[in-house]
Amino acid sequence: MDILGIILLGVVGVVVVVAVTTLAPKVGVAAPLLLVVLGVGASFLPFMDVGTIDPEWVLGGMLPPLLYATAVNTPIMEFRRDLSTISVFSVILVIVSAVVIGFMMTFLIPGLPLALGIALGAIISPTDAVATSIVRKAGVSTRIVTVLEGEAMLNDASALVVLRSAVAAAGVAANGVTFSLGEAAFDFVYAVVVAVVIGFVVGQLNLIIRSRITHEVSSVALSLVMPFIAFLPAEHIHASGLVAAVIAGLVYGHGSAKHIAPSVRLTEESVWKTLELLIESAIFLLMGLQLVTQFTSIHAARGTFLEAIWIGAICATVIIAVRTAFVSFSLWRLSVRYRRMGGVKDKLSDMQEKLEVGEEFIRSRRERLAGDEPPALGLSLGDELALDGKRNIGLSPRNPQLDEERHKKIDHRIEKMKVGLARRISDLDYLAQEHFNWRDGTILVAAGMRGAVTLAAAQSLPEDTQHRALLVSIAFVVAAGTLVLQGGLLPSVAKWLKVGEASHEENDQQLTDLRAELAQAALTHLDDPKLKRPGGIDYTPEVLENARQQVVTTVELAEIDYCQSADLRSEVYSLSLDLIKTRRRELLKIRDMGNYASEILDIALKELDAEQMSVELLEPRSFDE
C-alpha cells in the first residue's frame, strides 16, 4: 500500500471511530465490539489487504501509552489498598492459568511439548487493559474498576515473562539442554524489580522537569514520549517495559496535582483522551481485520477451522473456571479479613489515644523546662534532662538551637505516626464500607476479557514453533470469544446485579464535607499572623476581611472589582492564588489520608483548578497594559 493509500486508510479509520463511538450508546452495544465486527466485515473487501501486523507495533508501540494513560488516572490510594488482591490476580493467577492450560493442551494436541502448552497458557491468561474500557462504561463501582485495571496493567509483564521462559524452555529442550526453573524465577523477579525502579525514576523526572517548563504546549508534547522513555531502557536491559510505563504513570498521576499547573493538566487530559480513543479503537479494528487472515493461515498450514474453534472454546472455559476459583478464594480471604477489622481498628484507636496523651506530655514538659520550672514527677531538673536524653524526645534547655532542631525532628516523627494511624483506620473503614460480595465477584469473573495483548503475544511466537498456526488461531478464538461474549453481556449483567450503584445523596454529602474542610483550611491560613504578600508586606485588613467573607459564603475570589486601585487588585489577586494553593495542599493531604472517595477528590480538585485558571485570567498587569 502506497503512502496515499495509508493516509486514506487513516482518514477513513478516524471517521469510522468517531461514528462508532457516537452511535454505540444509542444502539446499546459497546463501541469496541462494534469495531471488531466492522473490522471483520472490512476484511472481506477486495482492496482491504492488511496482512499480519507485526506484534511489536502493539506490544511496543500501542500498549505503553495506553497503560501509562490508564495508570495516570488510577487512584493511587485505592490501588494501594487492593494491591494484595491485584498482585494475586496479576501474578499468581497468570502463572496457575498458564500451567493448567499447558497440561491440558498436551492432551488436546498430540505431540505438543508441555513448554509450548504453557506458552499458549501464558498468551491467553492475562486480561487486557484495552478490553477493560468496556468495564469502565458498565457502571460498576470504582473499587472493581481499580482492581481490574490494576490487574490488566500488571499481568502483561507476568504473562510475557512466562511466555519468554516457556519458549526458551521449548528451544533448549529441543536441543537437549536442561531448563532451569530457578533461572526463570530469577528472570521474572529481575524483570519486575528493575522495571519498577526505572518507572519510578522516570515518573519523578517527569514531575521535576515538566514543573519547570512554562510553555504549556511543550510540556504536553513531552508527556507524549514519557511512556517510551520508561519502556525503552527497561526493554533494553531485558526488564518489563510495560511495567516501567505503568509505574511511571502511577508516580506522575499521584504527583501531578502538586507539581503541574492546572492549565497544563487540563490540556494534557484532553490530548491523552483523544490519543487513547484512537489507539484503543485502532487495536479493536485491527483485531477484526486479522481474524479472517488468521483463519486463512491455519487452512494453509493444513489445519481446520473447527479444531481451532473447539480447542479455543475449551481453553476459554478453563481459564474462566480457574479465574472463578481465584475470585472465590479472594472473596473468602477478604471476608475473613473483614471480620477481623473490628479488633484491629480498636487497637489502632487505642494507639491514637496514647499518642495524643504522649504528645501532650511532651508539650507540657517542654513548657516547664523552657521556664526552668521544677518537674512535676518529683525529679530534679538534671534527672529529668538525663531521662530526656535516654528517651531522645528533645527537651534540653541548655542549648536552644539544638533544642529547636530536636523539637522539629520529634514533632515530625509524631506527625508521621499520627498520619500513619489515621490512614490505617481510614483503610479499614474503606474496606468495611466497600467490601466485595458475590455480586462484585460475578463482575470480577465476567470482566476477565482478553484482547490486544493476547493477539500480539500469540503472533510473537517464533516462526518455527510447532503447530504455530493452530496455537495462534486458538489464541484469536479465545480473545475474540471472551471479548464478544463477556464484553457483550457485561453491561446487562452489571445492570441486573445492580453493582456499583452509588448513592447520590452520600456523594453530595461527602463533597459538602470536603468543601467545608478546605474552607476551614483557608480560614486558618487567613488568621495566620505570618501571612504576608509576596514582597513581605502585610495585607490590607479590608482585603483579608473580604476574603474571609468570600470563603464562608463560597463566593469565588476571582471576582475582582475593576474600579479598585491597581495595588488593591494586586493584593486580591495574590491572596486569591495563595488561598487556592492552601486549599489544594489541604486537599492533597486529605487525599493521602484516604478519608474520601477518589471521585469526590477529583471533583474538588477540578473545582480548585477551574478557580485558579479564572483568577489567572484576571492577572492585574493585564489591565494596566
Q: Tens digit of pLDDT for each residue in 101-114? A: 999 998 888 888 88
Give me the pLDDT at residue 623, please: 43
Do 418 and 328 fall within a single domain? Answer: no
Residue 266's domain comprises: 3-340+432-501
Q: How far apart are CA 121 and CA 100, in angstroms?
A: 7
DSSP collapsed to 3 states, 32-96: HHHHHHHHHHHCCCCCCCCCCCCHHHHHHHHHHHHHHHHHHCCCHHHHHHCHHHHHHHHHHHHHH
Which is higher by pLDDT, 51 or 282? 282
pLDDT classification of 554: cutoffs 50, 70, 90: low
Give me the pLDDT at residue 165, please: 82
| Contact criterion met (CB below 8 Å) for 587 and 77 | no
454-473 pLDDT, tens digit each: 887 888 888 778 888 888 88
Give me the pLDDT at residue 226, please: 95
Do 358 and 456 fall within a single domain? Answer: no
DSSP state of 437: -
Do 447 and 564 fall within a single domain? Answer: no
Neighbours of 139 (CB within 10 A): 14
pLDDT classification of 596: cutoffs 50, 70, 90: confident
Do 318 and 404 fall within a single domain? Answer: no
Do 69 and 206 fall within a single domain? Answer: yes
Do 399 and 302 fall within a single domain? Answer: no
pLDDT classification of 379: cutoffs 50, 70, 90: very low
- C-alpha cell recorded at residue 571: 493584593
Give me the pLDDT at residue 366, please: 65
Whether the predicted pLDDT of 387 surpasses 50: no
Which is higher by pLDDT, 413 or 278? 278
Do 31 and 108 fall within a single domain? Answer: yes
pLDDT classification of 56: cutoffs 50, 70, 90: confident
Give me the pLDDT at residue 93, please: 92
Greatest mean pLDDT range, 31-35, 132-136, 358-362, 562-566:
31-35
Do 420 and 479 fall within a single domain? Answer: no
Give me the pLDDT at residue 535, please: 75
pLDDT classification of 548: cutoffs 50, 70, 90: confident
| Contact criterion met (CB below 8 Å) for 579 and 524 | no
Q: How far apart are CA 297 and CA 443, in angstroms?
A: 35
| Per-chain mean pLDDT for the chain | 79
Give me the pLDDT at residue 584, please: 92
pLDDT classification of 201: cutoffs 50, 70, 90: very high
Q: How far apart are CA 453 and CA 611, in angstroms?
A: 41
Give me the pLDDT at residue 50, please: 59
Q: How far apart are CA 99 and CA 120, in angstroms?
A: 10
DSSP state of 214: -
Give me the pLDDT at residue 57, please: 80
Of 501, 531, 555, at which residue does a domain stop? 501
Q: What is the pTM of this model?
A: 0.81
* Whole-number percent of the chain with pLDDT over 90: 18
Neighbours of 323 (CB within 10 A): 21
Of 431, 446, 481, at which residue does a domain stop? 431
Q: How far apart are CA 43 and CA 51, in angstroms?
A: 10
Do 214 and 267 fall within a single domain? Answer: yes
| Contact criterion met (CB below 8 Å) for 473 and 303 | yes
Number of domains in the chain: 3
Of 475, 501, 527, at which residue does a domain stop? 501
Whether the predicted pLDDT of 521 surpasses 70: yes
Average pLDDT for residues 15-30, to the nearest whole number? 83
Do 46 and 60 fall within a single domain? Answer: yes
Do 214 and 92 fall within a single domain? Answer: yes
Burial class from Cβ neighbours inside 10 Å (0-12, 13-18, 19+) for residue 623 reads: exposed
Q: How far apart are CA 134 and CA 517, in angstroms?
A: 36
Cα dihedral value 331, 153, 40, 5, nearest 10:
170
Greatest mean pLDDT range, 291-305, 488-502, 535-549:
535-549
Do 378 and 496 fall within a single domain? Answer: no
